[in-house]
Amino acid sequence: MTNPTNDENNIETNFKEKMTYGEYLQLDSLLSSQNRLSGHHDEMLFIIIHQVSELWMKLILHELNAAIEAIKKDHLSVSFKKLARVSQIQFQIIKAWDVLSTLTPSEYLEFRDSLGNASGFQSYQYRLIEFALGYKTDFILKIYEKDTELHQQLEQAYRAPSLYDVSISALKRAGFDISDDILKRDVSKAYTFDESVHKAWKEVYQNTDDHWDLYELAEKLVDIEDRFQQWRFRHMKTVERIIGFKTGTGGSSGVHYLKKVLDQTFFPELWHLRSEL
């Protein structure tokens, strides 16, 4: 019989001139970025949860931008894998709130003042995701004026076609009659319901065999908005659990603001047509 210990003989142990796992992932930099300003034990939880969420958001943007480019080229099947990955990443971010919910109001009060006016409201990656999904608000850009490079990145995303814009263009290229007002609209404005888009998606859903790729695209979009709203809801309930209805550190109305954004939709026609099918 083979000696089990012999199976490990090929494990590399000499890294004097080779790259290690930690070096590849730049763990020295990554794991030294959790600097507690208060020194309170639970501030570590607070920092890591938000840093991990930002890493997941970076990957969401990576996949969303790739999906947008694929849809522009009518490579819908290529976009499906990327959009499905976004949905799975969203699930990870949703579950992160369960971990943060272990933080009690008394524990948070011990270090809340250390945040100053820093707030998740200022997350630029969250705004980039909103822009990519089609929810555009220009007032938010003012927050980032102190960083010229970042402000330019946000401005560019603000004026770029969203995931839904390119999906609607795909409907047009597939032969559906889409209003010129929609096709030529100012994409820096938040999208609102359009009857021609609604009619096109409704036909897709009523004739799935003839429009299977567009049907699958529509369902991928619904998956993403569904998960996004779940994320928003869990965020709102976690904030309510920890600080109640206090004003947020960044000056927002806190839970009141988070409840209000639950009414925002990205793909209104895809939700509306479900009542008519």
Q: Strand, helix or coil at 239?
A: helix
Answer yes or no: is 49 a known binding residue: yes
User: Tokens 């109640």 identify what position?
Assistant: 244
Alpha-helix residue ranges (DSSP H) falling in the chain = 21-24, 27-30, 43-72, 76-100, 105-109, 124-133, 148-158, 163-173, 180-183, 195-206, 212-243, 255-261, 268-272
Answer yes or no: is 272 a known binding residue: no
Answer yes or no: is 159 a known binding residue: no
From residue 185, how far is each of 129, 179, 188, 200 by CA, in Å? 20, 10, 9, 18
Half-sphere exposure of 252 (CA within 13 A, CB side): 20
Answer yes or no: is 158 a known binding residue: no
Answer yes or no: is 46 a known binding residue: yes
Using CA atoms, how far apart are residues 183 and 85, in angstroms rounded to an integer?
A: 28
Q: Are 201 and 171 in contact (CB under 8 A)?
A: yes
Q: Strand, helix or coil at 35?
A: coil
**Can you give the length of the chain in residues?**
277
Question: Which tokens go with 200?
Answer: 């096109």
Answer yes or no: is 48 a known binding residue: yes
Question: Which tokens go with 273?
Answer: 């047509």
Answer yes or no: is 178 a known binding residue: no
Answer yes or no: is 249 a known binding residue: yes
Q: Kindly give, in sequence order, each residue whose CB lies less than 8 Å from that of residue 275, ignoring residues fewer than 6 positions away.
A: none
Binding residues for heme: 235
Binding residues: 46-50, 108, 112, 235, 249
Binding residues for substrate: 46-50, 108, 112, 249
